[in-house]
């Protein structure tokens, strides 16, 4: 059933893709080829059990091959890929199928498409048998004319023709063995190993034809031999006419005959070879390892110079100076190699991925340098590629000075950094390497050293790769799982749980970078850049926690750090710009006098000729001059790269988090609940609560206990319909001892300031509107409750209702005049706090929060808002005397209410037997209250005026003017 549609589909596919006519030869050929591919080609499968089994088989193969570490890593990375917290592509698609498709595609990368990974091969493998001389002779016996012994020469004459004593001894042993064994075929196991080797060697005829003089000349040039000796040769010509004899002549005058005789002379090509061996890290004849030194001099260097070798046309003192400089460079490169390899040998959690990436890049540079040294060695040999190239130690020094200087800079970076600590901190290492390489690259660019800029930008580029991957994980996924060594500048504080109210502010920590060791600070570690990267990652982490599994949040296409970096620093595969031109070539002066050019030819002739290399594929000519590839300024390009990388991600994450907080977190509703509960805004819920509470106070009912307060508040919530306030819990806190001593014993309103409203802000809103700010809100609520109580007393409880108990008209009029003044005071303060401060500031806060796109700004705006309304409501420490004076006047209102209940209001039909005494007492008490009120009111008015004028607070000036207008 399936073959017919498959054949039909394959034919239609060939027709659509090729455009051939059906049933033509070309069309049939393509169809047959397609059928063959479909029948024999290996396609992937999403059978999860099959794929898991195949990966387990690969792990078993690793363990069999003694590569258990690779098997563990394969299992670890496979588990990370299948992790549900790391989606691939769209969240709507089936993630498990996609990931198993990827695993199957990886398995399909095998070079053999027909290899079956499930079933072991049934073909028996032949056992490997060790090959011996006996097997070789048995397969091809030593028979024939070419193996026949020359009868004309006796064995003694044959022995005399051998040049070396070793061959002569072997020939004698072979002769004895022949006499012993004869021509008969022997069984090899009957002989010992030495006899067997000697026997078979005797059967081989050695061609000993050679030129003894040529061999002796070649051996005489091999200066590494133990029997090498090249004494001084005095020529018959004058030393001034023979430049090669200048060294010997000077040595006679400087050192004496015995000194020159103890020296061994090398050709300059041999000395150049020794220098190149040293720079590669190998010991030689001239440069020996310190461990082999016969004298007991203690040194930390790996190599030292043997002073018993010299060059004929250079003085021994000058040569020793040159060799000492080369030896110092060789020791420096040896230390660099040792340090780099020690870093790479350690696990990645010791030094960090960034440090290991830097070490790998340095190793690549050293390998390229060794290739350059090998080319120099070939060019400086006796059989050179180009006959016109000169061989000179000075030229080698000049040629390699620039590359060596780069490695000296790398050496100083390593040995001046925090690498020698017993317990290195990977974060400090990563920051140090990136900032230092950036600084060195900028210096190279400013100095116009294009080759050095290429090398250090290569190191900078390679070092940034793993660090950029850590930034990608943080910015786009909000995770730090890849940071195994804690080298990133963001760390997770594991003691703070994700459900904690301080998870946003304390769940992660930002480590600022120290760049005091650099001249140019790296833009990556500037405070503004670090803050934006820190916020973007936190926002992504927070969004993933807020959204449920059913909801999907997709960002725009990611601009990964390496992609953004390629725009300014394209990926380079080589440490050196061009291996054929590794020197920063200075312009050669054109006007050179003939005498200088003839006497100093090497000074005006570059060691390597400028050539133009032909492209092998296209055939175009490409200049080897790096000046043709100069770009723009690195600092500006890198800053633009970082802005491109983080700019859009920061804005998108901030906007998405803001929308989710308002949509999913319902931040606006919680702000309105807070305003309604603590500031008596938005609705009449707190008016209902205050009326019910004041009634219980008037009827002398219990209201201080927790149960009564919560019942009254719950009834107010139900009556107002503010359902979001149901999570609020009320209780009384213990009054301050200092305030208890100054309060009147009959003042019930005093305890209103100690009612605590605990509104439970849910997660995640409590990370931005912090629970600690509710304590400041409670200060305002306590003050508002006392002012509300005073308004209630003055407006409803002190009105004249019937006749007075006492018939003192003057005192009664004085009572009502004081009541009006107190009412003016309370209403002014109530209007100032509710309208001028709370209403205007709350509307401004709501407007600012709706406009901001940064979640951190929400916390900042709210904290500033709370601090501002607390200060303007005279509840901070600096305005504490004014607040005490205002509370004292509110207490006087309670006393006025008691006087009203005692002397002013009299029930019908009730007579006071002591009217005269009561009238006198009433007049005295009214006078005391009025005097206390006038003094306190004057103090408040004067203090507010002074505070407003000196501090430039116009609202205090206006409040003082309103209070003085009564």
Q: How far apart are CA 199 and CA 180, in angstroms?
A: 11
Q: What is the DSSP letter of 184?
A: S
Q: DSSP 3-state assignment of 490? A: strand
Q: What is the mean pLDDT of residues 269-293?
A: 85
DSSP state letters, 622-652: EE--GGGG--S-HHHHHHHHHHHHHHHHHHH
- Return contacts of 847-854, CB within 8 angstroms, 24+ apart: 849/667, 849/671, 852/658, 853/651, 853/654, 853/655, 853/658, 854/535, 854/654, 854/658
Indicate the SS3 state at residue 739: helix
Of 407, 417, 268, the residue nearest 329 (C-alpha)? 407
CB within 8 A of 449, min separation 6: which ones? 402, 584
DSSP character at residue 753: G
Q: Where are the beta strands (DSSP E) in 48-198?
A: none
Shared domain check, 655 and 680: no
CB atoms near residue 594 (< 10 Å): 7
pLDDT of residue 252: 53
CA 649 – CA 878 distance, rounded (Å) = 44
Per the CB < 8 A criterion, the answer to whether 906 and 954 are in contact is: no
CB 203, CB 246: distance < 8 Å: no
Tokens describing residue 706: 């927790």
> Binning pLDDT at 50, 70 and 90, where does residue 946 land?
confident
Tokens 């006071």, located at residue:
912
Q: Is residue 423 part of a domain?
A: no
Question: Is 496 a member of any domain?
Answer: yes
- Provide the number of structural domains found in the chain: 4
In Å, how far from its chain's centre is CA 718?
Answer: 53
Helices 268-280, 393-415: axis angle to 10 degrees equals 10
Beta bridge partners, 428, equal none
Alpha helices in 664-684 (DSSP H): 667-678
Taking the C-alpha atoms of residue 427 and residue 489, their distance in angstroms, rounded to an integer, is 7
Same domain, 357 and 485: no
Query: Which residue from 370, 804, 786 is spatially nearest to 582, judged by alpha carbons?
Result: 370
Same domain, 543 and 689: no
End-to-end CA distance of the chain: 103
pLDDT at 125: 52
Q: What are phi and psi of 562, to 5 degrees?
A: -65, -35
Q: Which of 261-270, 446-455, 591-600, 611-620 has the lowest mean pLDDT?
A: 611-620
Q: What is the CA radius of gyration of the chain?
A: 48
Shared domain for 718 and 796, answered yes or no, is: yes
Q: For 567, what's the count of Cα atoms within 13 Å in the CB-facing half-sphere?
A: 15
Q: In Å, what is the CA distance from 341 to each residue of 336, 344, 466, 907?
A: 9, 5, 19, 103
Q: What is the pLDDT of residue 405?
A: 92
For the residues 919-943, what does the mean pLDDT come to?
A: 85
Same domain membership, residue 921 and residue 779: yes
The angle, 0 to 180 degrees and rounded to 10, between the axes of the packed helices 316-345 and 268-280 is 20
HSE toward the beta carbon, residue 676, CA cutoff 13 A? 24
Last residue of one domain, picked from the residues 105, 133, 158: 105
Q: Look at residues 749, 765, 784 and name the one whose alpha carbon lies nearest to residue 869.
A: 784
How far apart are the C-alpha atoms of 497 and 131, rounded to whole Å? 69
Mean pLDDT of 10-24: 82
Examine residue 950 and state whether it is found in any structural domain, yes or no. Answer: yes
* pLDDT tens sequence across 753-762: 888 898 888 8
Question: What are phi and psi for residue 955, nearest 5 degrees?
Answer: -70, -30
Q: How far apart are CA 646 and CA 792, in angstroms?
A: 58
User: Is residue 502 situated within a structural domain?
Assistant: yes
Instruction: State which of 622, 649, 664 marks the end of a domain.
Output: 664
Q: Examine the domain organization and report whether 644 and 670 are in the same domain.
A: no
Q: What does the DSSP 8-state code read for residue 921?
A: H
Same domain, residue pair 261 and 323: yes
Instruction: Name the residue among 824, 819, 829, 828 with its Cα closest to residue 797.
Output: 819
**Residue 467 confidence class, pLDDT cut points 50, 70, 90:** very high
Task: Decide: residue 281, CB within 10 A, 0-12 exposed, 13-18 middle, 19+ buried.
Answer: middle
Which of the residue ranges 459-473, 550-564, 754-768 has the most confident prediction, judged by mean pLDDT?
459-473
Q: How many Cβ atoms are within 10 Å of 63's Cβ, its own excluded?
A: 13
pLDDT at 325 over 80: yes
At 629, the pLDDT band (50, 70, 90 cuts) reads very low
CA distances from 577 to 453, 455, 581 (A): 9, 7, 8
For the record, the structure tokens of 382 come out as 């006796």
- CATH code assigned at 955: 1.20.120.1900
Any domain includes 83: yes
What pLDDT does residue 549 have?
42
**88 and 95 Cβ atoms separated by less than 8 Å:** yes
- What's the predicted TM-score (pTM) here? 0.61
DSSP for residue 93: S
Residues 407 and 457 both lie in one domain = no
CA atoms within 13 A on the CB side of 857: 15
Give the residue from 78, 105, 132 where a domain finishes. Answer: 105
Residues 797 and 657 in one domain: no
Average pLDDT along the chain: 75
Question: Do β-strands 264-266 and 309-311 pair in parallel, antiparallel, or remain unpaired?
Answer: parallel
Over the stretch 224-250, which tens digit does the pLDDT of each residue have?
777 676 655 544 444 444 444 444 555
Q: What percent of the chain has pLDDT above 90?
A: 5
Residue 161 within a domain? no
Give per-residue pLDDT as tens, 817-826: 888 888 898 8
User: Among 172-176, 260-264, 401-405, 712-716, where is mean pLDDT lowest?
Assistant: 172-176
CA-to-CA dists, residue 896 to 318, 749, 903, 946, angstroms: 111, 13, 10, 30
Residues 452 and 522 in one domain: yes
Domain extent at residue 782: 665-906+915-965
**Contact by Cβ (8 Å): 872, 958:** no
Residue 660 falls inside a structural domain: yes
What residues pair up with 492 in beta bridges, in sequence order?
Answer: 508
Residues 684 and 695 in one domain: yes
Handedness of CA 337, 338, 341, 342 (dihedral sign): negative
Q: Are the CB atoms for 742 and 885 separated by under 8 Å?
A: no
What residue ranges in 160-257 does DSSP mark as E strands? none
- Classify residue 939 as exposed, middle or buried by CB count within 10 Å of its CB (0-12, 13-18, 19+): middle
Domain check: are 715 and 809 in the same one? yes
Q: Is the pLDDT of residue 61 over 70?
A: yes
Rounded to the nearest angstrom, the gap between the alpha carbon of residue 513 and the centroid of all alpha carbons in its chain is: 11
CA–CA separation, 653 and 593 (whole Å)? 70
Position 216 in a domain? no
Task: Please check whether residue 198 is in contact with residue 174, taking contact to mean a CB–CB distance below 8 angstroms.
Answer: yes
């Amino acid at each position: 059933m399936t073959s017919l549609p498959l054949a039909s589909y394959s034919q239609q596919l060939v027709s659509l893709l090729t455009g051939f006519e059906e049933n033509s030869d070309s069309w049939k050929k393509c169809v047959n080829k397609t059928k063959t591919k479909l029948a024999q080609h290996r396609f992937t499968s999403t059978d999860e059990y099959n794929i898991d089994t195949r990966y387990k088989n690969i792990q078993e193969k690793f363990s069999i091959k003694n590569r258990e570490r690779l098997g563990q890593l394969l299992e670890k990375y496979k588990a990370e890929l299948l992790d549900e917290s790391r989606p691939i592509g769209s969240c709507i698609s089936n993630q498990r199928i996609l990931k198993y498709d990827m695993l199957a595609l990886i398995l399909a990368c095998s070079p053999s498409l027909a290899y079956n990974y499930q079933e072991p091969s049934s073909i028996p493998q032949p056992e490997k048998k060790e090959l011996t001389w006996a097997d070789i002779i048995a397969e091809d016996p030593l028979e024939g004319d070419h193996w026949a012994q020359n009868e004309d020469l006796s064995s003694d004459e044959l022995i005399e023709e051998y040049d070396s004593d070793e061959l002569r001894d072997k020939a004698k042993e072979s002769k004895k063995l022949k006499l012993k064994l004869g021509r008969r075929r022997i069984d090899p196991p009957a002989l010992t190993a030495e006899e067997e080797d000697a026997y078979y060697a005797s059967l081989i005829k050695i061609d000993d034809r050679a030129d003894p003089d040529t061999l002796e000349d070649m051996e005489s040039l091999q200066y590494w031999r133990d029997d090498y000796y090249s004494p001084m040769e005095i020529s018959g010509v004058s030393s001034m006419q023979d430049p090669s004899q200048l060294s010997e002549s000077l040595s006679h005058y400087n050192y004496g005959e015995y000194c020159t005789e103890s020296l061994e002379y090398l050709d300059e090509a041999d000395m150049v070879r020794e220098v190149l061996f040293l720079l590669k890290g190998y010991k030689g004849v001239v440069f020996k390892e310190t461990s082999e030194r016969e004298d007991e001099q203690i040194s930390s260097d790996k190599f030292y110079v043997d002073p018993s070798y010299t060059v004929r046309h250079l003085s021994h003192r000058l040569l020793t100076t040159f060799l000492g400089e080369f030896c110092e460079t060789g020791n420096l490169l040896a230390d660099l190699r040792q340090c780099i390899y020690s870093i790479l040998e350690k696990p990645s959690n010791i030094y960090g991925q960034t440090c290991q990436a830097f070490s790998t890049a340095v190793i690549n540079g050293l390998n390229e340098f060794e290739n350059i040294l090998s080319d120099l060695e070939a060019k400086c040999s006796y059989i050179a590629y180009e006959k016109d190239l000169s061989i000179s130690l000075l030229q080698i020094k000049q040629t390699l000075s620039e590359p060596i200087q780069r490695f000296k800079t790398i050496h100083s970076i390593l040995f001046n950094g925090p690498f020698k600590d017993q317990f290195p901190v990977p974060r400090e290492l990563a920051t140090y390497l990136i900032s230092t390489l950036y600084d060195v690259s900028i210096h190279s660019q400013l100095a116009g050293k294009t080759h050095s800029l290429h090398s250090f930008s290569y190191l900078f580029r390679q070092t940034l790769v793993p660090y950029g991957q850590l930034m990608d994980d943080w910015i786009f996924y909000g995770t730090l799982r890849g940071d195994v060594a804690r080298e990133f500048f963001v760390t997770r504080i594991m003691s703070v749980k994700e459900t904690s109210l301080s998870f946003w502010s304390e769940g992660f920590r930002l480590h600022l970078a120290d760049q005091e060791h650099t001249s140019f600070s790296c833009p990556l570690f500037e405070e503004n850049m670090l803050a934006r990267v820190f916020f973007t990652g936190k926002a992504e982490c927070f969004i993933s926690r807020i959204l449920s599994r059913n909801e999907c949040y997709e960002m725009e296409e990611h601009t990964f750090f390496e992609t953004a970096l390629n725009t300014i620093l394209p990926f380079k595969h080589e440490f050196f710009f061009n291996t054929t031109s590794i020197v920063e070539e200075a312009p050669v002066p054109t006007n050179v006098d003939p005498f200088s050019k003839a006497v100093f030819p090497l000074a005006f002739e570059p060691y390597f000729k400028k050539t133009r290399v032909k492209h092998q594929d296209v055939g175009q000519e490409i200049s080897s001059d790096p000046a043709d590839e100069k770009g723009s300024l690195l600092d500006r390009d890198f800053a633009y790269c970082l802005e491109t990388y983080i700019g859009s991600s920061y804005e998108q994450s901030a906007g998405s988090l803001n929308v989710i907080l308002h949509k999913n977190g319902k931040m606006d509703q919680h702000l309105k609940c807070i305003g309604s509960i603590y500031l008596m805004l938005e609705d009449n819920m707190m008016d209902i609560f205050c009326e019910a509470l004041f009634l219980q106070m008037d009827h002398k009912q219990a209201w201080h206990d927790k149960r009564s307060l919560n019942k009254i508040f719950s009834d107010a919530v139900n009556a107002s319909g503010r359902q979001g306030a149901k999570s609020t819990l009320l209780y009384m806190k213990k009054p301050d001892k200092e305030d208890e001593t100054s309060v009147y014993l009959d003042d019930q309103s005093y305890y209103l300031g100690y009612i605590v409203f605990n509104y439970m802000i849910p997660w995640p809103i409590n990370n931005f509107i912090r629970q600690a700010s509710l304590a400041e809100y409670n200060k305002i609520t306590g003050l508002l409750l006392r002012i509300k109580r005073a308004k209630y007393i003055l407006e409803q409880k002190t009105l004249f209702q019937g006749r007075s108990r006492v018939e003192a008209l003057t005192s009664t009029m004085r009572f009502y005049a004081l009541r009006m003044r107190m009412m003016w005071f309370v209403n002014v303060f109530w209007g100032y706090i509710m309208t001028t401060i709370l209403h205007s500031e709350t509307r401004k806060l709501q407007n600012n929060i709706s406009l901001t796109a940064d979640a951190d700004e929400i916390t900042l705006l709210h904290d500033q808002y709370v601090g501002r309304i607390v200060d303007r409501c005279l509840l901070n420490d600096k305005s504490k005397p004014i607040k005490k004076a205002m509370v004292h006047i509110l207490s006087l209102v309670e006393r006025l209410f008691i006087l009203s209940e005692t002397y002013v209001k009299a029930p019908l039909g009730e007579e006071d037997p002591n009217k005269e005494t009561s009238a006198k007492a009433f007049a005295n008490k009214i006078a005391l209250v009025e005097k206390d009120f006038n003094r306190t009111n004057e103090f408040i008015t004067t203090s507010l005026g002074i505070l407003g004028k000196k501090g430039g607070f116009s609202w205090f000036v206006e409040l003082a003017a309103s209070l003085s207008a009564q």
